[in-house]
Chains A and B, each alone.
Chain A
């Protein structure tokens, strides 16, 4: 079965987000002073062929561990959709 998996990768707490900081500054200059903070991450979409949801999820976890996520500075969440 083909699984559509959404992975959100984001910086761990305590890791400098220079991009977020710069964007915050820009938005403040545009008068969005109600914005207190912003942190920027990545959204990955994967389509995985697997026999069941757990297998698909575990495969993606392995991919994250091996390449997609740098666990020194990043964390991630996984959401699974099944496709027919």
Chain B
């Protein structure tokens, strides 16, 4: 797998993603500077990592969404390339209109960093192909603006299109208010585009891909991508 991780001024989790991908699935991963106009050749996966790009100023991800590299990423996505946005990366993808919705301030108006469980709602995506539907993954969240929001009509649309990939749930997979850490509409933790190749999620898989860090469930997402690519998957 050849992957690149975009680095914006203020990105924090780029090195973490590089370490995690290369350790877990032996991916060939490199950092990609936000001012580049092209992606490296034969890129299999583009990751927009977590952090505070542009200090989260104006709106989270707003300025990063206008960075030069986003044009190349949009083209790559249109061609079916895999794009994964984690936390701030998810925020950037919504601002760039590659994914629907917006991420607002957490319901309790505080930054929340803790382990969390999400349920896989779809397993026919490149990012979840190794999972069982309803499988519970333990991955941490760390964000101040993680409340996924859509106006009701848009919500209806994405539900109809089955674009919800992850929902916040309890340990046993049940979904309720108690399991929703930030007030996200319909407990939505991660969504995919209609084409099925651009995924955004708030939890951090790179923080849950090694046993020593408390969970390897995030690594299952890397595994899914790797095996999907190996099988010659196309979007």
Chain B binds chain A: yes
Cα(A39)–Cα(B222), bound, Å: 41
Near B by CB (< 8 A), chain A positions 1-18 give 12, 14-16, 18
CB–CB A70/B59 < 8 A: yes
Number of B residues near A (Cβ < 8 Å) is: 19
A19, B66: Cβ atoms closer than 8 Å: no
Q: A72 near B147 (CB under 8 angstroms)?
A: no
Whether B183 contacts A18 by the Cβ 8 Å rule is: yes
Q: Out of A16, A22, A70, which one reaches B62, CB within 8 Å?
A: A70
* Cα–Cα, bound, A66→B94 (Å): 14
Cβ–Cβ contact A68 & B106, under 8 A? no
Interface string of A47-84 (1 = CB under 8 A from B): 00000000000000000001110101100000000000
A18/B63 contact (C-beta < 8 A), A67-B58, A72-B102, A73-B149 known = no
Residues of chain B within 8 A (CB-CB) of A70 are 59, 62, 95, 102
Q: Hey, what's the 0/1 contact readout for B51-63 against A, CB within 8 Å counting as 1?
A: 0000000110011
Known: A15-B151, A16-B149. A73 touches B104 (CB 8 A): yes
B34 → chain A, closest Cβ, in Å? 15
Residue B109 at the chain A interface, CB threshold 8 Å: yes
Q: Is the CB of A68 within 8 A of B151?
A: no
Q: Does B105 contact A (CB under 8 A)?
A: yes
Given contact pairs A66-B66, A70-B95, A73-B149, A16 touches B104 in the complex (Cβ within 8 A): yes
B145-174 CB mask vs A (1 if < 8 Å, else 0) is 001010110000000000000000000000
Q: Are B101 and A22 in contact (CB under 8 A)?
A: no
B37 within 8 A of A: no
Q: Collect the chain A residues with CB atoms within 8 Å of residue B102's CB.
A: 70, 72-73
Q: Tell me whether A18 and B58 are in contact (CB under 8 A).
A: no
| B107 touches A (CB below 8 Å) | yes
* Docked-complex contact A67 and B183, CB < 8 angstroms: no
**Bound Cα distance A15, B105 (Å):** 12
Q: Are A19 and B59 in contact (CB under 8 A)?
A: no
A71 to B95: give the CA distance in the assembly, Å: 10
Q: Nearest chain B CB to A13's CB is how many angstroms away? A: 10
How far does the alpha carbon of A18 sit from the alpha carbon of B182 in the complex, in Å? Answer: 11
* Residues in B neighbouring A12, C-beta threshold 8 A: 151
Q: Are A19 and B149 CB-contacts (below 8 A) given A67-B62, A67-B66, A70-B62?
A: no
Whole-angstrom distance between the Cβ of A42 and the nearest chain B Cβ: 9
Roughly how many angstroms separate A12 CA and B63 CA in the complex, as a whole number?
21
Query: Whole-angstrom distance from the CB of B140 to the nearest CB of chain A?
Result: 22
Please report which residues of chain B, range 93-150, place their CB below 8 angstroms from some CB of chain A when the two chains form the complex.
Answer: 94-95, 101-102, 104-107, 109, 147, 149
Of A12, A15, A70, chain B has the most CB atoms within 10 Å of the CB of A70
Residues of A within 8 A of B (CB): 12, 14-16, 18-19, 22, 66-68, 70, 72-73
**Known interface pairs A15-B149, A18-B105, A70-B102; 4 further A-B residue pairs with C-beta atoms within 8 A, sorted by A's residue number:** A18-B107, A67-B66, A70-B62, A72-B102
